């Protein structure tokens, strides 16, 4: 890399800006020229048999009919979206509870995405459906070309099983749309000039009535171009009908308003808190401490969940009840309503606990009968009835799905098969002090017979308050653990494993703590004799891909290999590419000299060295990723190669930010990554 490029990648001296032209022929030719040697090296030749075996094993896991078909209740039916070998793009379908309880439910298919794609001559990827409630007769179906975040919207008649030719439809955009009543939707989309934010999301919410052109829709709310996005929603619960708009000022701050005729009444909670409304109740989940001057100076701790009666709160009476308060080891992980109960999942040193809460008294009772040594999440909850589903799994235990209507009687309704022999697996949790002394937990999963030291894969994310928790992965189990590899999951700062403060202390100028935590775990694995530097690999995607880029350029001596998926890497320009502007609150603003001072110290693209020894690295991305620009990976590969380093790239033409548009592509990508890891670390696949 030239000195000029290191100083200012925005300048004409950056020779790789042209690689940001996503579908330019020159850029795509460059991609193909790098895909070919990667595939030839790790998928073909003398190692082709190993690769194909892993690809087939991964695809069997992803396609098997023995997987749990997770459901969501809408009225009398349970809905599911399903992909398998016969239906690679998937089926949107439904069944009844009685049928679902059986081993072979009878599914009523509403939309066959493969068939729809053939009819439209498009490679559609399912992006969800918004069903009108409580009628359950119409749906707003989102379809993506190749897996991108941008979607088209079509109105679907769930009685006739047909799309409505003159119904609500939107062209491709990063739209937000929802029902206000059977003949009205609230919509934010690309309305034309100046209708999007700098992040590429809707800036305007409009009320669009059936039978009228979109251009005549009534404006309900406008944000500013510097906002991340605005959105509209409606609660159609009988007796509690309300319309809301939200204005995301940045990634972590949002103003929420109730729309009452021409008036907008703000929910007067901290903008960095999460607010939700259910029937007569308002919930406020705090990200920072909140002191109320009009409530005897009461201070509520960051990470607390508060409740109030909605109408009283909106009238100015802030009579708040504490539903949950964190401690040094415990945080709130998940919450969901049934009609009359609130479900809570908490984490204590990354171990889950599920409770059921009675509104009003806010009495919490643990739910008994959950499998020990597993992580449990709320898979679904019916906010119009009393039904909920809980899913429990662990590194060595496949998922078990239970159904309940109270906190005492759990019905095991489905269980996933074992995809690998976990009988001899051992799971241990360790803690290591980071550079500033903070104890960082991590899990080590390996066979009791595994070689020590041996090939080890370390995973991490460290951003956006996203928690990494124990869970079962048939692909990881088959392609890594069953072949003698060790897997490590690091619960580094930037995530939410210990509540919002675990995240907020590691954003912006504190970002270095994420890297220091991860490096500390890597060192501890070697110190404990679990692995060696030469046998240690790390993998991460998106924000975790940024982490891999930092490991490559700041801590290359700690790793034998890195897999960097759909990454952010050029932090000088990230805010100018696709959705990047929405993450300024997380990383800082590169155009602000004070922020660039700390960003520049870790931005991988600006810190490539031609003289340091780097481990082997595989970058993967997707041409159709319209969230994290593929130019990050492309430019990093180009700059690394120019600096004399060997580096590998695989860019999938489809896939969006997930990197794969169907199970076939996901299996190929998994096999490629594990083939690279086994080859590079000196193991045998």
Q: How far apart are CA 488 and CA 474, in angstroms?
A: 16
Which residue, 561, 500, 593, 406, is CA-closest to 42? 561
Residue 565: enclosing H or E segment and its boundaries?
A: strand 561-565
Is 60's pLDDT higher than 60? yes
- Average pLDDT over the chain, rounded to whole? 95
Rg (CA), the chain: 25
User: pLDDT tens-digit profile of 302-359?
Assistant: 999 999 999 999 999 989 999 999 999 999 999 999 999 999 999 999 999 999 999 9
What distance in Å separates the CA atoms of residue 577 and residue 568, rounded to the nearest whole number? 10
Give mean pLDDT, residues 281-303.
Answer: 89
Residue 403 and residue 477 in contact, taking contact as beta carbons nearer than 8 Å: no
Res. 219: pLDDT tops 80: yes
Q: What is the mean pLDDT of residues 90-104?
A: 97
Q: How far apart are CA 217 and CA 91, in angstroms?
A: 33
Coil/strand/helix, residue 234: strand
User: CB under 8 Å to 31, separation ≥6 — which residues?
Assistant: 623, 634, 649, 651
Give residue 364's pLDDT.
96
Q: How does DSSP classify residue 506?
A: T
Q: What are the backbone angles phi and psi of residue 326, rounded to the nearest 5°?
A: -75, 165
pLDDT of residue 8: 44
Is the CB of residue 437 less than 8 Å from the CB of residue 518? no
- As a three-state string, the secondary structure of 272-331 is CCEEEEECCEEEEECCCCEEECCCCCEEECCCCEEEEEHHHHHCCCCCCEEEECCCCCEE
- The residues assigned a catalytic role are 542, 657
* pLDDT confidence tier of residue 132, bands split at 50, 70 and 90: very high
Distance CA 444, CA 447 (A): 10
Whether the predicted pLDDT of 297 surpasses 80 = no
Q: pLDDT over 90 for what percent of the chain?
A: 92
**Partners of 148 in beta bridges:** none
CB 578 within 8 A of CB 628: yes
SS (H, E, C) 48-111: HHHHHHHHHHHHHHHHCCCCCCCCEEECCEEEEEECCCCCCCCEEEEECHHHHHCCCCCCEEEE
CA distance 89 to 109: 14
pLDDT of 5 over the 50 cut: no
Nearest to 563 by CA among 582, 544, 590, 586: 544
CA nearest to 619, candidates 604, 598, 633, 640: 633
**Which one of 6-10, 251-255, 404-408 scores highest in mean pLDDT?**
251-255
% of the chain with per-residue pLDDT over 70: 97
pLDDT at site 369: 85
Q: Give the three-state DSSP class for 142.
A: strand
Neighbours of 101 (CB within 10 A): 13
Instruction: Kindly tell me if the per-residue pLDDT of 282 is higher than 50.
Output: yes
* Average pLDDT over every residue of 184-190: 98
Q: Of 274, 212, 315, 652, whose CA–CA distance to 496 is shortest?
A: 274
pLDDT the model gives residue 631: 97
Closest CA to 16 of 569, 544, 554: 569
Confidence of residue 407 (pLDDT cuts 50, 70, 90): confident
* pLDDT (tens digit per residue) in 519-542: 999 999 999 999 999 999 999 999
Higher local confidence (pLDDT), 581 or 407: 581
- Cβ neighbour number for residue 159 with a 10 Å cutoff: 8
Supply angle C-alpha 60, 66, 69, rounded to 5.
110
- Residue 3 — very low, low, confident or very high, per pLDDT cuts 50/70/90? very low
Ramachandran category for residue 213: left, alpha or beta (phi over 0 → left; psi -120 to 50 → alpha): beta
pLDDT at residue 2 in the model: 34
Partnered with residue 564 across adjacent β-strands are 540, 619
Predicted confidence (pLDDT) at residue 93 exceeds the cutoff of 60? yes
The predicted pLDDT at position 294 comes to: 63
Query: What local confidence, expressed as pLDDT, does residue 685 receive?
Result: 58
Give the separation between CA 497 and CA 241, rounded to whole angstroms. 35
What are the beta bridge partners of residue 666? Answer: none
- pLDDT mean over 540-549: 98
Classify 373 as helix, strand or coil. Answer: coil
Give the mean model confidence (pLDDT) for residues 16-20.
96
475 — pLDDT class (breaks 50, 70, 90): very high
Average pLDDT over residues 117-132: 96
Please, are residues 10 and 573 in contact by the beta-carbon 8 Å criterion? yes
Question: Does the pLDDT at position 229 exceed 50?
Answer: yes
Provide the pLDDT confidence category of residue 295 given band limits of 50, 70 and 90: low
- H/E element, 674: helix 663-681
Residue by residue, DSSP assigns 387-456 as -EEEEEEETTEEEEEEEESSSS-EEEEEEPPPSS--TTEEEEEEEEE-TTS-EEEEEEEEETTS-SS--E
Per-residue model confidence (pLDDT) at position 373: 80
Residues 6+ positions from 493 with CB-CB distance below 8 Å = 434, 438, 440, 462, 502, 503, 505, 506, 513, 514, 517
For 160, list phi and psi in degrees, rounded to 5: -90, -15
Q: What is the average pLDDT across 624-652?
A: 97
Residue 208 vs residues 116, 184, 236: alpha-carbon distances, Å: 27, 6, 17
From residue 276, give the alpha-carbon distance in Å to each of 130, 233, 269, 313, 586: 18, 12, 11, 13, 23
Adjacent-strand bridge partners of 257: 245, 266
Residue 655 has pLDDT above 80, yes or no: no
pLDDT at 293 over 80: no
The pLDDT score that the predictor gives to residue 661 is 77
Least confident of 166-175, 400-409, 611-620: 400-409
CA 599 to chain centre: 23
pLDDT above 50 for 10? no
* Window from 90-99, 446-455, 595-604 with minimum mean pLDDT: 446-455
């Amino acid at each position: 890399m030239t000195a000029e490029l290191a100083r200012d990648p925005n300048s004409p001296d950056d020779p790789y800006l042209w690689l940001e032209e996503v579908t330019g022929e020159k850029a795509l030719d460059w991609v193909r020229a790098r895909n070919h040697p990667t595939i030839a090296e790790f998928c073909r030749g003398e190692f082709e048999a190993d690769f194909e075996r892993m690809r087939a094993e991964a695809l069997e896991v992803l396609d098997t009919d023995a997987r749990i078909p997770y459901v969501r209740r809408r009225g009398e039916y349970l809905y599911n979206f399903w992909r398998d070998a016969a239906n690679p793009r998937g089926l949107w379908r439904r069944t009844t509870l009685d049928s679902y309880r059986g081993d072979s439910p009878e599914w009523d298919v509403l939309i066959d995405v493969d068939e729809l794609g053939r009819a439209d001559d498009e490679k559609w990827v399912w992006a969800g459906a918004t069903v009108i409630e409580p009628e359950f007769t119409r749906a707003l179906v989102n379809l993506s070309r190749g897996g991108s975040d941008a979607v088209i919207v079509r109105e679907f008649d769930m009685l006739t099983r047909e799309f409505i030719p003159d119904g609500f439809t939107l062209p491709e955009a990063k739209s937000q749309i929802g029902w206000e009543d059977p003949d009205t939707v609230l919509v934010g989309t690309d309305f034309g000039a100046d209708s999007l934010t700098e992040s590429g999301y809707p800036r305007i919410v409009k009320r669009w009535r059936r039978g009228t052109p979109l251009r005549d829709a009534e404006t309900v709310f406008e944000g500013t171009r510097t906002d991340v996005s605005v959105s509209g929603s409606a609660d159609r619960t009988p007796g509690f009908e309300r319309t809301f708009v939200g204005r995301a000022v940045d990634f972590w701050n949002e103003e929420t308003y109730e729309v009452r005729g021409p008036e907008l009444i703000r929910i007067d909670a901290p903008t960095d808190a999460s607010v939700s409304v259910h029937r007569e109740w308002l919930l406020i989940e705090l990200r920072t401490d909140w002191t109320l001057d009009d409530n005897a100076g009461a201070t509520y701790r960051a990470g607390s969940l508060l409740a109030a009666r909605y109408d009283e709160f909106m009238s100015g009476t802030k009579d708040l009840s504490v539903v949950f308060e964190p401690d040094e080891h415990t945080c709130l992980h998940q919450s969901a309503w049934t009609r009359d109960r609130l479900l809570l999942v908490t984490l204590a040193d990354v171990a889950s606990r599920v409770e059921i809460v009675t509104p009003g008294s806010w009495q919490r009772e643990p739910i008994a009968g959950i499998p020990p040594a597993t992580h449990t999440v709320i898979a679904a909850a019916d906010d119009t009835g009393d039904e909920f589903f809980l899913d429990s799994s662990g590194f060595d235990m496949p998922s078990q799905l239970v159904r309940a209507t109270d906190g005492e009687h759990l019905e095991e309704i489905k269980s996933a098969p074992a995809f690998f022999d976990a009988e001899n697996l051992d799971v241990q949790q360790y803690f290591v002090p980071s550079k500033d002394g903070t104890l960082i937990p991590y899990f080590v999963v390996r066979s009791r017979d595994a070689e020590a030291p041996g090939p080890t894969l370390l995973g991490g994310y460290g951003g956006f308050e996203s928690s990494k928790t124990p869970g079962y992965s048939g692909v990881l189990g088959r392609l890594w653990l069953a072949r003698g590899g060790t897997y490590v999951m690091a619960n580094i700062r930037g995530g939410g494993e210990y509540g919002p403060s675990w995240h907020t202390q590691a954003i912006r100028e504190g970002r270095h703590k994420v890297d220091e935590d991860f490096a500390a775990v890597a060192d501890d694995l070697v110190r404990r004799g679990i692995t060696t530097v030469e046998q240690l690999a790390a993998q991460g995607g998106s924000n975790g891909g940024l982490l891999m880029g930092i490991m490559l350029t700041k801590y290359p001596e700690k790793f034998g290999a890195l897999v960097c998926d759909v990454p952010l890497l050029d932090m000088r320009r990230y805010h100018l590419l696709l959705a990047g502007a929405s993450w300024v609150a997380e990383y800082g603003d590169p155009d602000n000299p004070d922020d660039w001072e700390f960003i520049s110290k870790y931005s991988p693209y600006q810190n490539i060295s031609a003289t340091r020894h780097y481990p082997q690295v595989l970058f993967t991305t997707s041409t159709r990723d319209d969230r994290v620009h593929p130019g990050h990976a492309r430019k990093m590969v180009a700059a690394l190669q120019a600096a004399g380093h060997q580096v590998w790239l695989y860019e999938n033409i489809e896939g969006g930010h997930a990197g794969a548009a169907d199970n076939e592509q996901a299996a190929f990508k998994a096999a490629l990554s594990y083939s690279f890891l086994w080859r590079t670390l000196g193991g045998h696949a």
